[in-house]
Chains A and B, each alone.
Chain A
Amino acid sequence: MTKATTSEMMTIASSRRLKDGDVCFVGIGLPSTAANLARLTHAPNIVLIYESGPIGAKPHVLPLSIGDGDLAETADTVVSTPEIFRYWLQGGRIDVGFLGAAQIDRFANINTTVIGSYGKPKTRLPGAGGAPEIASSAKRVLIILRHSLRAFVSKLDFVTSMGFGEGGDHRARLGLPGAGPQAIVTDLCIFEPDPESRELVVTSLHQGVTREKVAATTGWPVRFAQTVETIEAASENELAVLRDLEQRTMLAHGVAAGDAS
């Protein structure tokens, strides 16, 4: 088998962050790929919840949209969208909210709304979807996105969903129920929040990635943890299962599940 690509390593490293038995509220695209990889490898009892209504979805192939029929067919139950947000997310039943993002800042706040000003945007992005309440109400949050200067910015054009706001105890001051983002997994590294300031700190690097590369691809002066670990390479099984899943998805849809949310 050929070596894992950086994209595959991003998906694999984030899937490892999910524990067997976790109840995971899954965004479409990269989070959905990684969550299903976890389900098919080390976390067979993970419960995947999609905002369209399926609870305990076990899709055979990756969904292209958040409401694919395969999610409903394979779920333990399918409830209405208001019920998902009211009873299951607001009700405090979600362990992990798993999100993607277009832009992120050093306190893990997320923008999926506009590039440029809100009134006269340069680029209008799709918007919030379920993210603001997933980010506030899930017990913990996991974020996956590709590393680039356009994505990792010193100041967001718009705060769609709150990570740690201005840092420190900002979440607690606003009364947010969940603990917020616990890890941001990219194709270069993993960030975790500093326990006090809540600023994102690089705690591990993918194999072969240098600190200089991360610093040059991040729009703020990046901090590194005292000990920076190297992320374990993909196992044969992780890689085989991921490639098989993506292959099945290609065959079923004629297209990869991709990044779009």
Chain B
Amino acid sequence: MAELILLREAIQTLVQDGDMVAMEGFTHLIPFAAGHEIIRQHKKDLTLVRMTPDLIYDQLIGMGCAKKLIFSWGGNPGVGSLHRFRDAVENAWPLPLEIEEHSHAGLANAYVSGASNLPFAVMRGYAGSELAEHNPNVRTIICPFTGEQLTAVPSLRPDVAIIHAQKADRKGNVLLWGILGVQKEAVLAARRSIVTVEEVVDDLEAGPNACILPRWVVTAVCEVPRGATPSYAHGYYARDNRFYRTWDAISRTRESFLTWMQEQVLGVSDFSEYLHHNHVVAEEVRR
């Protein structure tokens, strides 16, 4: 049953060193505030899962929180490389990073089968791709009905899923809308979940087919306004495209990265203090 607690407390109690942690959000609703809190609490040896490692995983990897990354596309969307991710893979800095690499379809299916309590997902995929040669978790299976050869990937069952959403009510029911990505599947596949939200309201005012995570599948709800910055929250604020470009320069060298992390993440007490320093309130958009 969802508890409404502070983000600091949620990360302290629900994320343990060595956990498999999935922080999802497909360009939209990326849980940056939670990522910063994980860095501030010096969590380590994490296996990070995410379809599109974005700036948030660049920061976690560069700060040495991760021992392994399971992913399908690792770039700075619309800008180029993730320099800290590349430095970890190419030069083992600050630590060697084990990678398990998939296609989007593979990981999306792995979340669905995890949420469905199945051991693996079956799909048509990876055919002719060398990914299958380098990833022992991509295997084949014969259809028992037709004899057709299909691809199987093991289900993802993270210890913790962390997502950001627009709203929760006071009981902890969560509502999200816009680009939905794999957030619902990630929460349902995981043992525990943390959802940061833009606001806690009396009534979600959601229609019958809205994407709702009922309070009894969510472990903790934390109110963190603008908690997805510099990504965006549909109906609340736009993506800070300028920061995505700035990150390219900040993250390019180890020194400039560490200086920035020290000042902007380790050196502040919470995400609101970081926002105050870094992000001019990007244009508010209509609800």
Contact with A along B25-36 (1 / 0, CB 8 A): 011100000000
**Which residues of B238-273 have CB atoms within 8 Å of chain A's CB atoms?**
238-239, 241-242, 244-245
Contacts of A124 in B (CB 8 A): 74, 81, 85-86, 89-90
- Contact partner of B129 among A28, A90, A123, A132, CB < 8 A? A132
Cα distance, A69 to B240, chains bound together (Å): 12
Cα distance, A129 to B149, chains bound together (Å): 23
Cα distance, A254 to B78, chains bound together (Å): 12
CB <8 Å contact, B181 and A80: yes
- Contact partner of A260 among B75, B125, B129, CB < 8 A? B75
With CB as the reference atom, state the residue of chain A lying closest to B132.
Answer: A132
CB <8 Å contact, A78 and B179: yes
Cα distance, A226 to B72, chains bound together (Å): 41
- Known: A81-B182, A124-B90, A254-B241. Contact between A260 and B78, CB under 8 A? yes
Cα distance, A90 to B281, chains bound together (Å): 41
Stretch among A36-44, A48-56, A144-152 lining the B interface: A48-56
CB <8 Å contact, B129 and A159: yes
Cα distance, A71 to B78, chains bound together (Å): 15
Contacts of A165 in B (CB 8 A): 128
Is the CB of A174 closer than 8 A to any CB of chain B? yes
Instruction: Report, as a range, how many residues of chain A touch the other chain.
Output: 35 or more
Cα distance, A121 to B89, chains bound together (Å): 8
CB <8 Å contact, B74 and A65: no
- Contact partner of A136 among B104, B111, B127, CB < 8 A? B127
With CB as the reference atom, state the residue of chain A lying closest to B242.
Answer: A254
CB <8 Å contact, A133 and B101: no
- Contact partner of B26 among A53, A63, A118, A254, CB < 8 A? A53
Q: Indicate the member of B81, B102, B104, B184 with the most A CB atoms within 10 Å.
A: B104
- Contact partner of B185 among A80, A122, A133, A159, CB < 8 A? A80
- Known: A160-B130, A255-B241, A260-B77. Contact between A130 and B180, CB under 8 A? no
With CB as the reference atom, state the residue of chain B lying closest to A92.
Answer: B124
CB <8 Å contact, B108 and A82: yes
With CB as the reference atom, state the residue of chain A lying closest to B235.
Answer: A69
Cα distance, A148 to B126, chains bound together (Å): 27
CB <8 Å contact, A132 and B111: no
Is the CB of A224 closer than 8 A to any CB of chain B? no
CB <8 Å contact, B73 and A175: no
Q: Name the prevailing secondary structure of the A interface residues.
A: loop
Cα distance, A130 to B238, chains bound together (Å): 25
**Which residues of A95-128 have CB atoms within 8 Å of chain B's CB atoms?**
109, 113, 118, 120-124, 126-128
CB <8 Å contact, A67 and B73: no
CB <8 Å contact, A90 and B105: yes
- Known: A126-B73, A132-B103, A254-B242. Contact between A175 and B78, CB under 8 A? no
B48 to chain A, nearest CB (A): 15
CB <8 Å contact, B123 and A65: no
Contacts of B124 in A (CB 8 A): 90, 133, 136-137, 177
Is the CB of A153 closer than 8 A to any CB of chain B? no
Cα distance, A165 to B128, chains bound together (Å): 7
- Known: A118-B134, A132-B126. Contact between A81 and B181, CB under 8 A? yes
- Contact partner of B77 among A64, A89, A175, CB < 8 A? A64
Is the CB of B120 closer than 8 A to any CB of chain A? no
Contacts of B134 in A (CB 8 A): 118
A97 to chain B, nearest CB (A): 12
Is the CB of A68 closer than 8 A to any CB of chain B? yes
B29 to chain A, nearest CB (A): 9
CB <8 Å contact, A82 and B232: no
Is the CB of A190 closer than 8 A to any CB of chain B? no
CB <8 Å contact, B27 and A132: no
Is the CB of A213 closer than 8 A to any CB of chain B? no
Is the CB of B148 closer than 8 A to any CB of chain A? yes
Contacts of B89 in A (CB 8 A): 121, 124
A157 to chain B, nearest CB (A): 10
Is the CB of B109 closer than 8 A to any CB of chain A? yes
Known contacts A129-B103, A132-B125, then 5 further A-B pairs from the complex at CB < 8 Å, ordered by chain A residue = A67-B179, A81-B108, A81-B182, A133-B104, A174-B128
Give 25 A-B contacts (CB < 8 Å), ordered by A residue: A52-B179, A65-B27, A81-B51, A84-B108, A85-B109, A86-B109, A86-B123, A120-B90, A121-B89, A121-B90, A124-B81, A124-B90, A126-B81, A127-B72, A127-B73, A127-B101, A128-B103, A129-B103, A129-B104, A132-B103, A132-B127, A133-B124, A133-B126, A136-B128, A162-B127
Residues of A within 8 A of B (CB): 28, 51-54, 63-69, 71-72, 78-82, 84-86, 89-90, 109, 113, 118, 120-124, 126-133, 136-137, 158-162, 165, 170-171, 174-177, 253-255, 257-258, 260-261
